[in-house]
Structure 1
Amino acid sequence: MGDKIAYFSGESIKDIALPERFTFPFFYEPHPLSRLAAADLQYYLETHTGLDHNFGLENDTDGAPIGKMFGVLVIKDQQGRLGYLSGFSGKLANSNDHPKFVPPVFDMLTENSFFLQGLEIITGINTRIDQLSNDENYLRLQLELKEALQTSNTDINALKAQLRLNKENRKLLRATLKERLNEADYAIAEADIINQSLADKRQLKYLSDEWMQTIRELQAQVVAFDAQIEPLKNERKERSADLQQQIFEQYSFLNKDLKRKSLQEIFKETPFGKPPAGSGECALPKLLQFAFKNGLQPIAMAEFWWGASPKSDIRKHQQFYPACTGKCKPILAHMLEGIEIDANPLLDIKEDRHPLEIIFEDDSFVVVNKPSGLRSVPGVNIDDSVYSRLKQGLLATEPLIIHRLDMDTSGLLVVAKTPSAHKHIQRQFLQRTVRKRYTALLSKVIHQSGGMIDLPLGPDLFNRPRQLVCFETGKKSVTKWEVVKRYADTTKVNFWPLTGRTHQLRMHSAHASGLNAPIVGDDLYGTPSERMYLHAAEIEFVHPATREKVSFAIEEGF
């Protein structure tokens, strides 16, 4: 155990008071002890060359760059000494065994483990599937079948076109012969025409049957290969599910009272119903497990990203991040049971600190200037919102919310006063005819003057409300932007969202393929500040009663 604890020197912590409660893991400002521990771990990562992992930083080893989430847990041992534990999420250089870092809750990679044995069998199945799928005869048959289907379709359609022309010609011929021939001669000619029609039908049937026979023979040969591949795929699926189940059964988490709960128990009551893949592999559960197992008292925690940013998510080198909600929150609810924890700062809302200004009102709608820190609609734990304030006296009628702004975004919000106005303006939002302009302060100097950002977005199902960039399943998200003013370390920009995705402007600002500059104060994708510097400055739409365009603007002084 001793080699896993890095003890603080008395000099380094002499002026630092212990926190009164343990860190709230899902929204926090790192305690000075956590920052001290993180700085020490980061120095270790910078100077230690034996990790054999490419983080995507300078002088890293070969291989694809993979950034990694690291965690520190400040602890007090049984002698009252303060130190910290280090951990990482997932595996590091395809291994769980590294000096300085705590072990996993369950090590799948130990020699001859059931996981490695099961993985070896699945790898063998994959190899066999790949061999069959890439067999030269199989590929040739697939190509021949595809070409046969295309050529048969072309040939049959060409013959059908010719036969339709023949039919039209026979129709014209009948009309001509009926005028020129007597009844007996016409009957002889008609019989010949009927024979021509029957011959055309026989020709079409012969061609169709010939192609059908060719296609069936090719399909039978392709199916013979498929019949070998499909059972292998089914076996792989079943073995993978069984292996995942065995893995989940090995994960058992402690709390301070040494009460154990398995992953299955923990996730049984969640919306998932079962553990998502990778559950229990994040840094904080590993750190707490080691602490409880060895009689160490958790004092504070922090997690930070080390390395290159991932392609889909927003993670910045050396920046602190909260624990994930989908995989970690249910586990930590058990592990931190009985430990006094900091209050969730998102629930610490003083209702009188956010005055709500009405800038326009008529019989159809009201336009308010929503302050940063006020919700658009009530939440599960917070009632204070634009909706509740309007309902409680600022409006004589029931407010009908048309669109929303994030709690930390300030600016113009339109609320309907009648169902017809709500329907009319909402349709404009759905049809993307509402023109909106936002102003933001970005966390670095942007040298370009403007442009377009096109990055498809979708929800991070295991870490809501965060979004991900995904070119496969994400929805199209387009933003026009333009620099307003450059400061020493920041840039003021205007945004025109051409689509209306969740967190679109925040993601397009922060993502490495966007502007790579989080909005100042963005606590999800950047660094917290006194507020998030994003403001809905202008909105234009068609008035539901007058059918004329109306425009409202209110600038924010940043």
Structure 2
Amino acid sequence: MSNSVEDLAVLPASSEPYQIVYEDDVLLVVNKPAKLLTVPGRHPQNQDCLIRRVQREFPFAEVVHRLDYDTSGLLVLPLTKRVLSDISKQFQARSVTKHYVALVEGKLAKAKGVIDLPLAADEQQRPLYKVCQQQGKPSQTRYQLLSYNSAANQSRVQLEPVTGRSHQLRVHMLALGHAMLGDTLYAPADVAAKSPRLMLHAEYIRFVHPLSRAVLEFTVAAPF
């Protein structure tokens, strides 16, 4: 397993609380604040995280998917092994629909499209990732321009990851020439400095309830 930035760096945990968006006997849907790990990091100072906070109230909560430290938004947390297994299979089958909202530098040339660029760990710049045609794993992101602010030269974009590679949305948008505001890992310094946080938020998720088989969908608007 390659080291991630969440293993290597001390990442101060946000004091902003998580929000419960949905709760029943077998699962939770929560809204994670930015600047909070989903699970504990390897660094001893990175033990405060979303799942540990949730487990104080819901001791059996488990993680089935993650958001980066810098990313806010929706996460599904199973409360039983059966539900964990079922939702894991939905993710593996790519039947869970998710989309994100991001603020990026510049104006997109096309209003919508698919970014299909393989991604691999950047051995020369760990813990970063890069587009790599030779060793990269297949990676696809659907994108759609939502609005453009000409005064700031910034675009609001909806992003739907077809695959779920590490840092996929950041690297794919960078490859298009549109770095995310507040991205201290990939954006040029002037773009990174335009926001105190990464402007990336997991806004929408849809999946099938493991017991009732009802289709559940949730939206939490981006806080930016």
| TM-score (normalised: structure 1) | 0.36
Match for residue 442 of structure 1 among 86, 100, 104: 104
Whether the 8 Å CA contact 1:354–1:373 is kept in 2: the answer is no
Alpha-carbon distance, 1:445 to partner = 1.9
Residue type at the aligned position of 1:496: E
Whether the 8 Å CA contact 1:356–1:368 is kept in 2: the answer is yes
Alpha-carbon separation, structure 2, partners of 1:453 and 1:548: 31
Q: Aligned ranges for residues 236-255 of structure 1 at < 5 Å?
A: none
Q: Which runs of 4+ in 1 moved over 4 A?
A: none
Residue type at the aligned position of 2:211: A
Runs of 5+ in structure 2 lacking a partner?
A: 4-8
Q: Identify the residue that residue 22 of structure 1 maps to in structure 2.
A: none
Q: Identify the residue that residue 91 of structure 2 maps to in structure 1.
A: 429
Alpha-carbon distance, 1:477 to partner = 0.5
Whether the 8 Å CA contact 2:13–2:49 is kept in 1: the answer is no
Whether the 8 Å CA contact 2:128–2:185 is kept in 1: the answer is yes
Q: Aligned ranges for residues 323-342 of structure 1 at < 5 Å?
A: none
Q: Identify the residue that residue 186 of structure 2 maps to in structure 1.
A: 525
Match for residue 170 of structure 2 among 486, 506, 509: 506
Give yes or no for the alignment of 1:349 onto 2:15.
no
Alpha-carbon separation, structure 2, partners of 1:462 and 1:366: 39
Alpha-carbon distance, 1:497 to partner = 0.8
Residue type at the aligned position of 1:349: P
Larger Rg: 1
Q: Aligned ranges for residues 67-466 of structure 1 at < 5 Å?
A: 347=10, 349-351=12-14, 353-381=15-43, 382-392=46-56, 394-395=57-58, 397-466=59-128
Match for residue 142 of structure 2 among 456, 480, 484: 480
SS in 2 for 1:473: coil
Change (3 A) 1:516 1:365: same
Alpha-carbon distance, 1:502 to partner = 0.9
Change (3 A) 1:491 1:400: same
SS in 2 for 1:495: strand
- CA offsets, 1:468-517, max 9 Å, x none? 11112211101111000100210001011111111110001112xxx211
SS in 1 for 2:85: helix
Alpha-carbon separation, structure 1, partners of 2:85 and 2:201: 25
Alpha-carbon distance, 1:350 to partner = 4.9
- CA offsets, 1:377-436, max 9 Å, x none? 0112311111110112x21x3221000000000000111100000000011111111100
Residue type at the aligned position of 1:532: L
Please state which structure has a larger fraction of its residues in helix. Answer: 1
Match for residue 541 of structure 1 among 188, 191, 207: 207
Alpha-carbon separation, structure 1, partners of 2:132 and 2:113: 21
Alpha-carbon separation, structure 2, partners of 1:365 and 1:533: 28
Structure with the larger RCO, 1 or 2 (CA within 8 Å, 6+ apart): 2
Alpha-carbon distance, 1:535 to partner = 0.4
Match for residue 494 of structure 1 among 158, 177, 184: 158
SS in 1 for 2:123: coil
Q: Identify the residue that residue 168 of structure 1 maps to in structure 2.
A: none
Alpha-carbon separation, structure 1, partners of 2:204 and 2:74: 7
Runs of 5+ in structure 1 lacking a partner?
A: 1-324, 326-345
Alpha-carbon separation, structure 2, partners of 1:419 and 1:557: 32
SS in 2 for 1:531: coil
Alpha-carbon separation, structure 1, partners of 2:13 and 2:157: 30
Alpha-carbon distance, 1:348 to partner = 5.7
Residue type at the aligned position of 1:427: K
Alpha-carbon distance, 1:456 to partner = 0.4
What's the % identity of the aligned pairs? 38
SS in 2 for 1:468: strand
SS in 2 for 1:384: coil
Alpha-carbon separation, structure 2, partners of 1:363 and 1:460: 42
Q: Identify the residue that residue 86 of structure 1 maps to in structure 2.
A: none
Alpha-carbon separation, structure 2, partners of 1:470 and 1:426: 28
- CA offsets, 1:420-460, max 9 Å, x none? 00000011111111100100000112242111110000112
Alpha-carbon separation, structure 2, partners of 1:468 and 1:557: 28
Alpha-carbon separation, structure 1, partners of 2:13 and 2:108: 35
- CA offsets, 1:97-137, max 9 Å, x none? xxxxxxxxxxxxxxxxxxxxxxxxxxxxxxxxxxxxxxxxx
SS in 2 for 1:481: strand
Whether the 8 Å CA contact 2:13–2:37 is kept in 1: the answer is no
Alpha-carbon separation, structure 2, partners of 1:354 and 1:557: 13
SS in 1 for 2:84: helix
- CA offsets, 1:186-226, max 9 Å, x none? xxxxxxxxxxxxxxxxxxxxxxxxxxxxxxxxxxxxxxxxx
Whether the 8 Å CA contact 1:538–1:554 is kept in 2: the answer is yes
Alpha-carbon separation, structure 2, partners of 1:358 and 1:500: 24
Cα RMSD (Å):
1.5
Match for residue 516 of structure 1 among 154, 168, 177: 177
Residue type at the aligned position of 1:471: Q
Residue type at the aligned position of 1:499: T
